[in-house]
Each structure stands twice: as structure tokens, then as C-alpha cells.
Amino acid sequence: MKKIFIFLSLSLFLVVNVNATDLKEGLWEMTSKMEMKGMPLHMTAQKFKQCITKERSVPMETEKGDTKCKVIEQKVKGDTIFWKIICNDKEGETIVTGKGTYKNDKFEGETKIKTPDGMELKQQITGKWIGKCK
């Protein structure tokens, strides 16, 4: 279970073609914070950097371990992207739904995660543009 938390807090294995005019391509620093329903303590926020382009616009890091994810739905409305992902590993199927909005040099998004054992998690993601991709 801990493996899934780490994977999902750092990874959303997704490529979306965004035609949003407010997406600023370049290097972004993303911060994700996981919340577990019914748990008073919050998990530590995770930070990562990613080169964001119109073709690769969802905050993510590379896939880790033996978890395999597949995008089953994706759409763009204005500057907001929506997605649904199914991740499979030896523990079963995890369903991730999310949305995120780019506004100039800022990003705000959220995901809802349902794990194989029925646990429900929320992840808040914020980001800021920090420069050109290297």
C-alpha cells in the first residue's frame, strides 16, 4: 500500500494534447499533497520538476516499480485538462481521476484516487513555472 501512495503522489502516467492558450511551456516545479479520508494527519508534500509542453501537460514523474498505468479518458476544456487513469500492480487496480488548470505561470489541480482495498485519497497539486526546459 505504501508503494502505491508513493507512486501516486509522484506519478500520473499520462500524456494529453492541450490546445489551451494559457499553458506556458517550460520547466515547472510541482508540489503534490496527499490527503486520506478519515485520517487527521496529512502526508508530507512531494516536490518535483517537469518540462511541461502542450503534448505533455499533466504533472507526472516517470513510472516507478512494477505499477503500470493506462489513460482511459482524457479531455480538454479551455485551460483545464481532465483525465482518468487505471493503474495495475500486484495489489490490484487503482483508479485515478483528476483535473488541472493552467493560468499563465501557475497550475492548480486535484486527483481522486481509489485503491484496490477501497481506500479513497485526494491529492492537491500546485505548480509554478520556473524557466525554460533544459
Q: How many degrees, rounded to 5, is the angle at CA 56 between CA 97 and CA 87?
A: 35
* Angle at CA of residue 29, ends 114 and 15, nearest 5°: 55
For position 85, what pLDDT does the model report?
Answer: 85
Number of H helices, E strands in the chain: 1, 7
| Integer-rounded Cα radius of gyration of the chain | 14
- Give which of 113, 28, 98 is closest to 67, Cα–Cα: 113
User: What is the fold, at CATH topology level, of the domain defined by 2-131?
Assistant: Lipocalin (2.40.128)
The average confidence (pLDDT) of the chain is: 79
CB-based contact 25:52 (threshold 8 Å): yes
pLDDT in the model for residue 4: 52
Contacts of 108 (CB under 8 A, 6+ apart): 100, 101, 125, 126, 127
Domain ranges of the chain: 2-131
Choice between 23 and 14, residue whose per-residue pLDDT is larger: 23
Q: What is the pTM of this model?
A: 0.73
pLDDT in tens, 48-90: 898 988 777 766 554 555 567 877 887 888 888 898 888 888 8
The alpha carbon dihedral of 39, 106, 85, 76 has a sign of positive
pLDDT tens-digit map of 89-127: 888 999 999 999 999 899 999 999 999 999 889 999 999
